[in-house]
Copies of this chain bind each other. A is one copy, B any other.
Amino acid sequence: MKRKDRLVVVAKELDYDEKIVIINILDAEKLEIKSGDKILVSNAKNKSLKEIFTVATTKDMVEEGTLLIPTKYAERLGLSSGDEVKISQTHKPESIELIKKKIAGEKLNRAEMKTIVNEIVSGLLGRTEIMGFVMAQKYVGMDMDEIEALTRAIAESGERIEFGRPAYDKHSIGGVPGNKVSLLIVPIIASSGLLIPKTSSRAITSPSGTADTMEVLADVNLSIEEFMEVANKVGGALIWGGALNLAPADDIIINAEKTLRIDPEPQMLASIMAKKLAAGINTMVLDIPIGKETKMETVEEAINFARLVIELGNRVGVRVQAGITYGEQPVGHNVGPALEAKEALEALIEPGKAPASLVEKSCSLAGLLLEMGGKAPVGMGHKLAKDILFSGKAYQKMKEIIEAQGGDPNIKPEDIPIGQYKYEVYAPVDGFVTKVSNKAINQLARAAGAPKEKGAGIILHVKRGRKVVAGQKILEIYAERSIKLQDAIRVLESHPPVIIEGMLLKTVPERTIYTFPMEGYSQGSSSE
């Protein structure tokens, strides 16, 4: 006889992000559950594959004895149509009382933090309650004991990588477009003999994450085994961390924070460090870009944050040095996955011709790692990094990495396809560039289709402080589709990316800030 707590997965496809399962009302009655209850669904063949879902009941969408589950969760649980699942009751979340304790201003201990994180990962806590926890962190704050406890709990919430030898990393808190420095730093460090197994993120609000950029040159969707094999073989790797199930609690919390873009300092610290701990990193350089339109406005703020990261690193066994960098305009000239990959590859091949902002930032951060790894005396790391870059060794190493990650090691910058639709922007007046806006560049590149359309992006021909003359080309926008180029042009009108002293900031009533010579652009056609 079939047990009432077993249901069979039906052959229906449902694309939905929330964790819902639809079951027949007769099964719900037998199981004594009702719509809105949380239940644990496990794969009957492999009970370690289990997750918590919210129940919806129906009289006629699925038959008695069956269950409908969104496709992505069925895949995650290794379930196909006809497979059996086991349904169990869930206990009441214990962390509600713990979050209330934090809200009331009390301190949480290590076991309590672990309970909260476990219940976040299991799905017992919803996004609303996670938001309550994050807001309490923001207003009540957490001390370093609590942040350490949170970090460890998040690090332990998923897979853990161990390389068995020191592993180095560079991490940026983000906020600056065009930041392709990892594509230079990783091969420089790997060339020196230090292990640098880098996991990166994809863009959330920026035009290209390091993983998006690297994906132009090689596969970045590696499994943990493949990742470790590449890193151990060539000494470095540049992959997307999202598929590795490292510190999954972090991803869930970030997802809850996303809409309101809340990211309180304790959570930000725990998030950075937990990912490193889970990825087996022992030594890290932290890039903190400062300035307007970045995450940190002042040097003081950056120093305070750096001290906290260093202290947290000390507590959990990760050595940290911080590099505070200038972040008020893009790094290098190119923004967008393909354009950034192209610029990085060019810099590896001919560093002498590369933008100083890209070479200097990469070599400064790489230099700190070389010093920490004992490859250069203190103060000499920058020089060593530059020597490695200019010797061509970093480029050779990058070719090895690209090959190990399934890309074409002989790819030339000019082989990289860029969007065929182009729009050029010219300086309307003579003057000096007083501002290049990260925000406007971000929005422009995203409107043009980045990061999803890899060929979309921006080439900036001027940077802050540069003198320009009227009619000089200051910017190019690339897109893969005409409609996206038009979207970007609309954004251009409301978000000027480059401010030139002496330029009209507004005209009345319908014209836009820029006047664009139409040469080099005709709507909907290729400029090539």
Which of A15, A60, A103: most chain B Cβ within 10 A? A15
> What DSSP secondary structure best describes chain A's contact surface?
mixed
Render A28-40 as a binary contact track against B, CB cut-off 8 A, 1 for contact: 0000000110000
Does A58 sit at the interface, judged by CB under 8 A? yes
Contact between chains at B13 and A61 (CB < 8 Å): yes
Contact between chains at B128 and A139 (CB < 8 Å): no
Residues of B near A14 (CB, < 8 A) are 22, 56-58, 61
Contact between chains at B129 and A132 (CB < 8 Å): no
The stretch of A152-160, A254-262, A323-331 in contact with B is A254-262
What's the least CB distance linking A93 to chain B, in Å? Answer: 8
Contact between chains at A35 and B56 (CB < 8 Å): no
From residue 18 to 33 of chain A, which have CB atoms closer than 8 A to chain B? 18, 20, 22, 25
Contact between chains at A100 and B22 (CB < 8 Å): no
Contact between chains at A259 and B35 (CB < 8 Å): no
Does A269 sit at the interface, judged by CB under 8 A? no
Does A17 sit at the interface, judged by CB under 8 A? yes
Render A417-429 as a binary contact track against B, CB cut-off 8 A, 1 for contact: 0000000000000
Residues of B near A96 (CB, < 8 A) are 259-260
Chain A residues bordering chain B, tally (CB within 8 A):
43
Complex CA–CA separation, A155 to B126 (angstroms)? 29
What's the least CB distance linking A295 to chain B, in Å? Answer: 15
Complex CA–CA separation, A227 to B256 (angstroms)? 42
Complex CA–CA separation, A466 to B243 (angstroms)? 66
Residues of B near A279 (CB, < 8 A) are none
Does A70 sit at the interface, judged by CB under 8 A? yes
Contact between chains at A99 and B260 (CB < 8 Å): yes
Does A127 sit at the interface, judged by CB under 8 A? yes
Closest 7 CB pairs of A and B: A16-B56, A135-B135, A139-B139, A15-B35, A131-B131, A127-B128, A13-B59
A–B pairs, 19, beta carbons within 8 Å: A11-B60, A12-B58, A13-B58, A13-B60, A13-B61, A14-B58, A15-B56, A16-B20, A16-B57, A96-B259, A100-B261, A126-B127, A126-B259, A127-B128, A128-B259, A129-B259, A131-B135, A132-B260, A135-B135
